[in-house]
């Protein structure tokens, strides 16, 4: 089911071309193949929506395959996290596969290659082999073990398998071409000895297949028609094809590897190794710290699956190097949250206001619209009283005409409430304003329909009645790195660019019904931004994360 309303990316063009050349549509099959050695990040989101998107587009199955060939780095914890993230993003895989499911088949094929004289056991040190490998400009030299007899190779490989050798002493290599201009073709390693327990096969094996030997054959076993990976694997394609040639049966689908450019997001890093370092060094609290570009971090930050999917869709996929500005990502959350997040009022930097002509002890519950973008969201009641908070930055003793907020002698509308006028203010001994005294127009109540209520005043402020306010911890986030591309500097480490002020924890005062907010709830604090309830939150202590601010054109005017 192809959707022609949108232009195709180059990957889709490849599939379309194959279809046009009579590749049977029902043989289309894709896969998303993460290594379970860390958490998924925003870069993976692109690969996920590419592969699963293709599945949806052509109604073809997509496997979730764990590339688990290195027990030294992989853990069940990561398998679970990856499954959770893919599901959360809204995709369904056809079958859950593991490269480790194919260890026996891979081993049998390896024996077959040995028998064909296409693979041999090498017992040199890695240093020796590296020296023989040559350089990109000079051909390598052949290993003295390259021409062992089949019998000897079989025997040695069997000993490797049976655990008779120590790690690092023996490998199985493909016999290809030590003079190839492609370094990967210079007799690459297929198996190494690793006396480590695997998270799924435990100690069944002590030899483990390398990526190149595993990946293409796994695609072949699963009959994946198109195997998409990132550009750094482009050189691997020749090897991928060579390994396939060894076992390929004409009657089966032959997987095709093609490469696309990894997506780079500005002001962050997307490499598991670097993300792991941020966690290990305590720069962030965990893999799901809301500042992390991981899927779990974005989830905790308040991002929606829709916004991430829309992001990957709009940035597309291509082959050139890129540095995607975070503003493209932020736009997508704002865009989605604008439609679905209930509006509430919260004051994060409080300044007390007293309405001198409002009866002491009185309170009234005013109607407040939950979402102007969505009438079905209904309304709620918000308590109003003589004393309330506004944001400090919303009051100035005096200011120019561009300042639409509260200033002495001028009027402003309190959202969903009354028009008030600032009469005077009091300061502490340091000269800081600590309270503003106002009068209000009792006939100006929002929604009352009176002439006064319809008066236009330039500014509208959010507020929270002090007596009714609920307190909450609010965590504000800034970009994790001060540089837009922290890991591309040859002379500096990415850790040098860590933003020391990426987290700010403050106390906020919220309208009372937020006491009922549940973990994961997303709201808009009007005029401030989108926030969500953090998992650290409890009935005793509310904790909110700031997802993203609203567009703020006042900030730009104020700068001038």
Partner RNA sequence: UGGCCCAUGGUGUAAUUGGCAACACUCCGGUUUUUGGUACCGUCAUUCAAGGUUCGAGUCCUUGUGGGCCAACCA
Least CB distance to RNA at residue 205 (A): 12
- DSSP assignment string, 528-557: TEEEEE-TT--SSSEEEEEEEEPP-HHHHH
- DSSP assignment string, 390-436: EEGGGEESS--TT--SEEBT-EEEETTS-EEEEEEEEE-TTS-EEEE
Q: Which is nearer to RNA, 328 or 498 (CB)?
A: 328
Least CB distance to RNA at residue 536 (A): 26
Which of 474, 532, 458 has its CA nearest to residue 349? 474
Please give the Cα distance from 171 to 190 (Å, whole number).
7
Please give the Cα distance from 35 to 213 (Å, whole number).
15
Least CB distance to RNA at residue 430 (A): 25
Q: Which is nearer to RNA, 498 or 550 (CB)?
A: 550
Strand order from edge to edge, sheet including 522-525: 343-344, 522-525, 529-533, 542-549, 470-477, 503-510, 346-347
Q: For residue 525, give Cα distances in angstroms to 60, 121, 135, 137, 451.
A: 42, 65, 59, 61, 29
Q: Which is nearer to RNA, 147 or 314 (CB)?
A: 314
Q: Which is nearer to RNA, 123 or 536 (CB)?
A: 123
Q: Which is nearer to RNA, 459 or 512 (CB)?
A: 459
Q: Which is nearer to RNA, 289 or 527 (CB)?
A: 527
Least CB distance to RNA at residue 559 (A): 8
Q: Which is nearer to RNA, 96 or 535 (CB)?
A: 96
Q: Which is nearer to RNA, 104 or 426 (CB)?
A: 104
| Whether 509 contacts 347, CB under 8 Å | yes
Helix H or strand E segment including 78: helix 76-88
The long-range contacts involving 187-190, CB below 8 angstroms and separated by at least 24 positions, are: 187/122, 187/140, 187/142, 187/143, 187/146, 188/212, 188/213, 188/239, 190/110, 190/113, 190/119
Instruction: Give 464's strand partners.
Output: 389
Least CB distance to RNA at residue 124 (A): 7
The tokens 């995607």 sit on which residue? 324
Q: In 466-541, where do the E strands start and end?
A: 470-477, 503-510, 522-525, 529-533
Residue 114: phi and psi, rounded to 5, are -60, -45
Residue 275: phi and psi, rounded to 5, are -65, -40
Least CB distance to RNA at residue 39 (A): 14
Least CB distance to RNA at residue 250 (A): 27
Least CB distance to RNA at residue 538 (A): 28
Who contacts 254 (Cβ-Cβ below 8 Å, separation ≥6)? 220, 244, 248
State CA 274 to chain mean position distance.
14
Rg of the chain (C-alpha set): 31
Least CB distance to RNA at residue 541 (A): 26
Strand 460-461 and strand 411-414: the pairing is: parallel
Conformation bin of residue 378: beta by default, left when phi > 0, alpha when psi is -120 to 50:
left
Cα dihedral 462, 467, 471, 476, rounded to 10, equals 20
Q: Which is nearer to RNA, 234 or 503 (CB)?
A: 234
CA atoms within 13 A on the CB side of 31: 30
Q: Catalytic amino acids?
A: 35, 262, 272
Please give the Cα distance from 436 to 164 (Å, whole number).
83
Least CB distance to RNA at residue 540 (A): 29
Q: Which is nearer to RNA, 111 or 235 (CB)?
A: 235
Cα dihedral 11, 15, 18, 23, rounded to 10, equals 150
């Amino acid at each position: 089911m192809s959707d022609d309303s949108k232009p195709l990316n180059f990957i889709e063009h490849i599939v379309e071309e194959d279809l046009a050349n009579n590749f049977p549509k029902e043989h289309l099959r894709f896969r998303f193949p993460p290594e379970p050695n860390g958490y998924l990040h925003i870069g993976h989101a692109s690969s996920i929506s590419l592969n699963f998107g293709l599945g949806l587009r052509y109604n073809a199955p997509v496997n979730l395959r764990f590339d688990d060939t290195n027990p030294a780095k992989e853990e069940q914890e990561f398998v679970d996290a990856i499954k959770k993230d893919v599901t959360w993003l809204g995709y369904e895989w056809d079958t859950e596969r593991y490269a480790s499911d194919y260890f026996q088949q891979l081993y049998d094929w390896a024996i077959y290659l040995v028998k064909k004289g296409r693979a041999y056991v090498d017992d040199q040190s890695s240093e020796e082999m590296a020296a023989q490998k040559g350089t990109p400009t000079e051909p390598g030299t052949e290993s003295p073990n390259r021409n062992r007899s089949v019998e000897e190779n079989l025997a040695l490989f069997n000993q490797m398998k049976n655990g008779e050798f120590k790690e690092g002493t023996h490998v199985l290599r493909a016999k290809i071409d030590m003079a190839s201009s492609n370094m990967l073709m210079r007799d690459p390693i297929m198996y190494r000895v690793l006396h480590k327990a695997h998270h799924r096969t435990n100690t069944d094996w002590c030899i483990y297949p390398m990526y190149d030997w595993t990946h293409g054959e796994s695609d072949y076993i699963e009959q994946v028609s198109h195997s998409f990976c990132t550009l750094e694997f482009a050189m691997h394609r020749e090897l991928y094809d060579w390994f396939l040639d060894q076992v390929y049966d004409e009657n089966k689908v032959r997987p095709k590897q093609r490469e696309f450019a990894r997506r780079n997001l500005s002001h962050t890093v997307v490499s598991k190794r670097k993300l792991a370092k941020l966690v290990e060094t305590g720069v962030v609290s965990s893999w799901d710290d809301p500042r992390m570009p991981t899927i779990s971090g974005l989830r905790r930050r308040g991002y929606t699956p829709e916004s991430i999917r829309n992001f990957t869709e709009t940035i597309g996929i291509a082959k050139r190097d890129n540095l995607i500005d975070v503003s493209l990502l932020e736009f997508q959350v704002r865009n989605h949250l604008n439609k679905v997040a209930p509006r509430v009022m919260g004051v994060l930097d409080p300044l007390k206001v007293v309405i001198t002509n409002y009866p002491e002890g009185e309170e009234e519950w005013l109607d407040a619209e939950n979402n102007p973008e969505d009438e079905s969201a209904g309304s709620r009641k918000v308590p109003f009283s003589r004393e309330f908070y506004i944001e400090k930055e919303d009051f100035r003793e005096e200011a120019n005409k561009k300042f639409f907020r509260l200033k002495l002698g001028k009027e402003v509308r309190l959202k969903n409430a009354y028009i008030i006028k600032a009469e005077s203010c009091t300061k502490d001994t340091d000269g800081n304003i600590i309270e503003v005294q106002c009068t209000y127009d009792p006939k100006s109540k929002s929604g009352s329909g009176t002439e006064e209520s319809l008066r236009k005043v330039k500014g509208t402020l959010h507020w929270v009645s002090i007596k009714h306010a609920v307190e909450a911890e609010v965590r504000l986030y800034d970009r994790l790195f001060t540089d837009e591309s922290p890991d591309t500097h040859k002379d500096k480490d990415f850790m040098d660019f860590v933003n020391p002020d990426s987290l700010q924890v403050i106390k906020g005062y919220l309208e009372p019904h937020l006491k009922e907010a549940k973990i994961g709830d997303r709201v808009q604090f009007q005029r401030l931004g989108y926030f969500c309830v953090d998992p650290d939150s409890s009935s005793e202590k509310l904790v909110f994360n700031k997802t993203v601010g609203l567009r703020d054109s006042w900030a730009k005017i104020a700068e001038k």
